[in-house]
């Protein structure tokens, strides 16, 4: 049915032919189960007064099992369709969803096999019934703890919230398991009662500590991977930096020559620009390779960059550049080149020689925190501009660096409209020092 009838008939909306093909298949399964039951339960011929009565018993059992198989297949097919249509696309976008699905799928398959196994009363045993009736309840407890409760309430002060959340899930889930799955198998109270107690004991006595241990192991592994990513990111940055150094001493000598020539020719703006460019290159050569630098050096680099941009745009009266960087209380260190990408992005996308433009940069420090704001106007770009669809792409790298270097100790807010682009960055340097 799965490999012929469903794909060739039902999925192609050929319902009549598909139904006609399913009828003999279902009847074959029905009669096969009926004949098998007449051998397994041959003693029923002695229980019933007539042979017809025993046959009716076998037919009823065969019908129930056949119907259950059809329902289980329908559930499987719907789950498969939902997985292909909705779940799989999500897996490519979310690592957490991929992890949950990878764990839930084998659990579901195992539970479905046990469910079919328990459909035969002759094969039932307490362990199989426990898995069939309370398997979803225990699996739900695991996923709730592992991916929701423990990440949010893992500290000792959150034990009350942890217990309350577990209770709010356990009571209705346990009741639903008893009412739905327990009644589906026709289990009486004297069987469901001990099974319910055993399920709760397994949940709290075995599953909870096992889940907690697994959560701690994964947390340590994630921390190790994060540290390796930070180290790898720094190594790649250093390698890229070394590759970019094409005889820097030659460039410095050339800049010094140009600077002297500009002074001789009485070109103060040119000499100022060359001097600031030399300072920026010196920063790139000596400071950029360090793990941390003084914030004042980063600010000086920003000032040099903005001054060069002022030289480029000073002939345009419609371009307004406001800078307010207060270095008071900024006696701290940060990773180099964290702030400049935001300013570069502002000048790259916020300057237009045909319309009024404005760029604003502000920075101040307070209580061990850095507050950095960048604002720029937004202008419509020509259709043939290669940067037209690339707005903000240059910020991706600095976002990743912030996430690696200051996890949980920074706040980055980016807001964009049709005419404005605003960035607000807060870095809690004191908290980062405490963690280290």
Q: What is the pLDDT of residue 15?
A: 80
Q: How confident is the model at residue 101 (pLDDT cuts 50, 70, 90)?
A: confident
Domain borders along the chain are: 5-230, 245-286, 293-435
- What backbone phi and psi angles, to 5 degrees, belong to 192? -65, -35
Coil, strand, or helix at residue 188? coil
Write down the pTM of the prediction: 0.44
Full 3-state SS string of 343-400: HHHHHHHHCCCCCCEEEEEEEEEECCEEEEEEEEECCCCCCCCCCCCCCCHHHHHHHH
Q: Which of 78, 84, 80, 39 shows the shortest CA–CA distance to 62?
A: 39
Q: What is the pLDDT of residues 241-298, one digit of tens each?
A: 544 544 454 455 555 555 666 666 666 667 667 777 777 676 766 676 788 889 998 9
Instruction: Examine the pLDDT at 413 and tell me if it is beyond 90.
Output: yes
Q: What is the pLDDT of residue 50?
A: 86
Cα 259 from chain centre: 52
Q: Which of 314, 365, 310, 311 shows the shortest CA–CA distance to 339?
A: 365
Instruction: Examine the pLDDT at 434 and tell me if it is beyond 60.
Output: no
Q: What is the pLDDT of residues 186-213, one digit of tens each?
A: 667 677 778 788 888 888 888 888 988 9
Architecture of the 293-435 domain:
2-Layer Sandwich (3.30)
Q: What is the pLDDT of residue 122?
A: 44
Distance between CA 328 and CA 296 in Å, rounded? 10
Token couple for 130? 């426990």
Distance between CA 282 and CA 278 in Å, rounded? 6
Q: What is the pLDDT of residue 239?
A: 53
């Amino acid at each position: 049915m799965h490999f012929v009838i469903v794909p060739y008939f039902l999925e192609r909306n050929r319902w009549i032919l598909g139904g006609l093909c399913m009828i003999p298949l279902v009847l074959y399964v029905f009669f096969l189960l009926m004949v098998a039951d007449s051998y397994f339960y041959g003693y029923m011929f002695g229980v019933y007064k007539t042979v017809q009565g025993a046959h009716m018993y076998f037919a009823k059992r065969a019908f129930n099992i056949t119907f259950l198989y059809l329902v289980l297949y329908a559930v499987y097919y719907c789950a498969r369709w939902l997985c292909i249509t909705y779940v799989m696309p999500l897996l490519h976008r979310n690592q957490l969803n991929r992890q949950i699905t990878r764990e839930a799928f084998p659990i579901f398959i195992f539970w479905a096999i046990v469910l079919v196994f328990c459909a035969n009363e002759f094969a039932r045993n307490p362990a199989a019934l426990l898995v069939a009736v309370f398997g979803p309840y225990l699996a739900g407890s695991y996923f709730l703890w592992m991916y929701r409760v423990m990440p949010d309430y893992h500290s000792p002060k959150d034990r009350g919230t942890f217990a309350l959340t577990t209770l709010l899930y356990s009571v209705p889930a346990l009741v639903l398991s008893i009412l739905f799955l327990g009644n589906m198998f026709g289990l009486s109270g004297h069987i469901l009662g001990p099974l319910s107690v055993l399920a709760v004991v397994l949940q709290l006595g075995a599953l909870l500590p096992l889940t907690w241990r697994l959560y701690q192991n994964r947390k340590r592994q994630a921390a190790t991977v994060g540290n390796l990513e930070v180290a790898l990111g720094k190594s790649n940055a250093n390698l890229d930096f070394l590759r970019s150094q094409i005889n820097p001493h030659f460039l410095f000598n050339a800049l010094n020559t140009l600077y002297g020539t500009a002074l001789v020719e009485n070109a103060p703006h040119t000499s100022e620009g060359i001097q600031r460019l030399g300072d920026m290159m010196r920063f790139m050569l000596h400071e950029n390779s360090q793990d941390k630098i003084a914030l004042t050096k980063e600010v000086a680099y920003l000032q040099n960059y903005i001054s060069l941009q002022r030289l480029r745009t000073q002939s345009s009266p419609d371009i307004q550049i406001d800078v307010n960087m207060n270095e008071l209380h900024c006696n701290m260190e940060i990773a180099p080149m964290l702030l400049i990408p935001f300013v570069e992005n502002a000048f790259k996308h916020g300057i237009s020689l045909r319309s009024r433009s404005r760029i604003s940069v502000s920075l101040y420090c307070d209580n061990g925190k850095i507050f950095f704001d960048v604002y720029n106007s937004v202008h419509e770009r020509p259709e043939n501009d290669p940067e037209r669809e690339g707005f903000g792409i240059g910020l991706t790298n600095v976002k990743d660096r912030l996430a690696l270097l200051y996890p949980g100790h920074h706040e980055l807010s980016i807001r964009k409209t049709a005419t404005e682009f605003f960035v607000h960055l807060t870095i809690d340097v004191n908290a980062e020092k405490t963690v280290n």
